[in-house]
Structure 1
């Protein structure tokens, strides 16, 4: 057998790799490979070896792979891992038996009699063991399914599979029916899926030697790339509306591959019940219902039951791996017993959870779901307990999104135009009780809480709890760590709005 530059030629090298990440560097030194590689290539080689070992942690005794150790074997993950291992075998030494056993498991446990592969752990027909027969049935199924597909991604990947298996099965007419008007890419709603669909389409065309179309797409790409390649440097200015400062970067050939980042604080926040427009724009894929119910009070600490109902808004299929992100639980902590109960046992509701507590005492909870139903609402319910007394209660932000999709949040964030603020104040559904134009006269620092004294200059909307407040002095409470971000200054005027439930009546002020 011909050895690749990174293959094993002594037992000591094999022991290095099996020992773990810390010995990967020693393995490459033994094989005298690192001396021949540049710094970037060394890093890539070490990364491949370590990621290979990490992926083996998800391998089951029967040769299949799963997302979580206690979850069922995944046909898709097993096939994808086998594919990547086969590709990586030209770069590092991969145990070929791992690839073969994974493919054998797919044939025995996931392929139906007519060739379709499904997510199942059962063996439908133990006679389906031969690779040629299995491929023929899969090709037959894909060939029959191709004319009924409705999106570019499915058509592109199916066309590539048929082109690889049998060039005579390739349907050029169907593939180009889903191409763009310029015939240079295969569009999808998600930009990442557009890139992947276009890649599979080009691979299919290369396979059947439709080189004219391939060269046209590649030529356009290189024309765009060369326009930027000749530039010596590029200045980037990042500015957000409402912020005075501007962050600037200069990118040239020497630092083009460096990672850069900047941080901007979002100040303006408002909450709105999702309307028909917002439902399409902000929560396009999921319906979310959040209910907070008081349970008991133990030793002066409040306890609430948080219920979250989720429904995937798709007529045909369930959502795949989904993440529920609950952030800014100021002063409250999720009940660990409830979360452990939800994530264990035969009837577990969630796959796993992570809790992060930041220095500002704002708790974030991330919940992983194996899937979300498109027919029946999935409910997640657990208690949250008060861990510290806070002067101002801030609402939590609950977001839900698929692993590779943008989030759907119950909170609107970002710069807000004055016209939107006016609409918000007058919106009957928003339940804004009072709107004042005020002037800040002074503030006092009380450790973790700031007291702002505001003079009400104009009553735009008078609430039921504060009668005739015009020209009166009122106190507004805020967090000390928000003082710099808010940047409220004495003598300046501000627009204040809120609800009656947020008003703390102290000596009628």
Structure 2
């Protein structure tokens, strides 16, 4: 809206001061010298442009004559895109349980914040289930009462752990046991994500929790390698 009003004001001003005759000289004084523009009846419709050599310093503008001239100074600069610094991380250490009748897999998770603040906002651990596995109910209940955990939700094949905050440079440990309900051939790796509750698009992935010992377990044997 401000631009429209300014253009209307310039148009009105031009109609009031317009003169079909005369000429003017525009002088721009800069720290390194001066730039001179001549505006007369032969070039009054010609766009003239010159480049200033100095980026800093004091500039002055002087116009002499009877012709009307519009003057514009443009500054073009580039701001480098800031680097995307990751301050959240999660480490997952899986352990296969070969002592129980029902094959189980324990996920030991360590969440870490290494940013500038003393602590984070609420963060979310997004744990994707391996195909054929479900959370152990008892382990899931224990996770709900674990350190700094606000709540735990299950959405399809994901377990979402809401952590109230992460203190700076202190690893926070949690664990979750998974139970194998049925065997799956050609098991695909699953990952754990951690992200700020208010910035879910900036998530950080853990390494896939599907190691060789897990494959041995999932194929029906309790012999780890």
- TM norm structure 2: 0.51
**CA offset at residue 327 of structure 1?**
1.8
Alpha-carbon distance between aligned partners in 2 of 1:336 and 1:502, rounded to the nearest angstrom: 23
**CA offset at residue 287 of structure 1?**
2.3
> Is residue 351 from structure 1 mapped to residue 150 from structure 2 by the alignment?
yes
> Is residue 287 from structure 1 mapped to residue 81 from structure 2 by the alignment?
no
Alpha-carbon distance between aligned partners in 1 of 2:133 and 2:204, rounded to the nearest angstrom: 23
SS of aligned partner of 1:375: coil
The runs of at least 4 aligned residues of structure 1 exceeding 6 Å deviation read: 501-504
> Is residue 399 from structure 1 mapped to residue 198 from structure 2 by the alignment?
no
Match of 1:42 in 2: none
Task: Select the structure with the greater relative contact order (CA < 8 A; seq sep ≥ 6).
Answer: 2
Q: Any stretches of 5+ residues in structure 2 without a counterpart?
A: 5-82, 220-225
**CA offset at residue 298 of structure 1?**
3.0
Match of 1:170 in 2: none
| Per-residue CA distance 1:229-259 (angstroms, 9 max, x = gap) | xxxxxxxxxxxxxxxxxxxxxxxxxxxxxxx
Indicate if the aligned counterparts of 2:89 and 2:194 stay in contact, CA closer than 8 A: no
Alpha-carbon distance between aligned partners in 2 of 1:502 and 1:386, rounded to the nearest angstrom: 12
**CA offset at residue 404 of structure 1?**
1.7
Alpha-carbon distance between aligned partners in 1 of 2:91 and 2:128, rounded to the nearest angstrom: 16
Match of 1:172 in 2: none
Structure 1 segment 212-291 matched on structure 2, within 5 A: 284-291=86-93
Match of 2:164 in 1: 370
Indicate if the aligned counterparts of 1:325 and 1:367 stay in contact, CA closer than 8 A: yes
**CA offset at residue 285 of structure 1?**
2.0
SS of aligned partner of 1:365: strand
**CA offset at residue 411 of structure 1?**
6.1
- CA change 1:348–1:376 in 2 (3 A) is closer
**CA offset at residue 328 of structure 1?**
4.2
> Is residue 305 from structure 1 mapped to residue 102 from structure 2 by the alignment?
no
Alpha-carbon distance between aligned partners in 1 of 2:99 and 2:182, rounded to the nearest angstrom: 13
**CA offset at residue 329 of structure 1?**
2.2
Match of 1:237 in 2: none
Indicate if the aligned counterparts of 1:286 and 1:312 stay in contact, CA closer than 8 A: yes
Q: 2:180 aligns with which of 376, 386, 389?
A: 386
Instruction: Output the aligned Cα RMSD.
Output: 3.0
Match of 1:296 in 2: 98
Alpha-carbon distance between aligned partners in 1 of 2:155 and 2:206, rounded to the nearest angstrom: 20
Alpha-carbon distance between aligned partners in 2 of 1:291 and 1:323, rounded to the nearest angstrom: 18
Indicate if the aligned counterparts of 1:342 and 1:349 stay in contact, CA closer than 8 A: no
SS of aligned partner of 1:351: strand
Alpha-carbon distance between aligned partners in 2 of 1:318 and 1:309, rounded to the nearest angstrom: 16
Q: Which one has the largest radius of gyration?
A: 2
SS of aligned partner of 1:407: strand
- CA change 1:411–1:375 in 2 (3 A) is closer
Match of 1:38 in 2: none
Q: Any stretches of 5+ residues in structure 1 without a counterpart?
A: 1-214, 221-279, 358-362, 413-498, 505-509
**CA offset at residue 342 of structure 1?**
2.6
Indicate if the aligned counterparts of 2:97 and 2:105 stay in contact, CA closer than 8 A: yes
| Per-residue CA distance 1:50-75 (angstroms, 9 max, x = gap) | xxxxxxxxxxxxxxxxxxxxxxxxxx
Match of 1:152 in 2: none
| Per-residue CA distance 1:183-209 (angstroms, 9 max, x = gap) | xxxxxxxxxxxxxxxxxxxxxxxxxxx
SS of aligned partner of 2:149: coil
Alpha-carbon distance between aligned partners in 2 of 1:328 and 1:337, rounded to the nearest angstrom: 16
Indicate if the aligned counterparts of 2:148 and 2:165 stay in contact, CA closer than 8 A: no
**CA offset at residue 337 of structure 1?**
1.4
**CA offset at residue 325 of structure 1?**
0.8
| Per-residue CA distance 1:96-128 (angstroms, 9 max, x = gap) | xxxxxxxxxxxxxxxxxxxxxxxxxxxxxxxxx
- TM norm structure 1: 0.24
> Is residue 409 from structure 1 mapped to residue 205 from structure 2 by the alignment?
yes
Alpha-carbon distance between aligned partners in 2 of 1:349 and 1:335, rounded to the nearest angstrom: 20
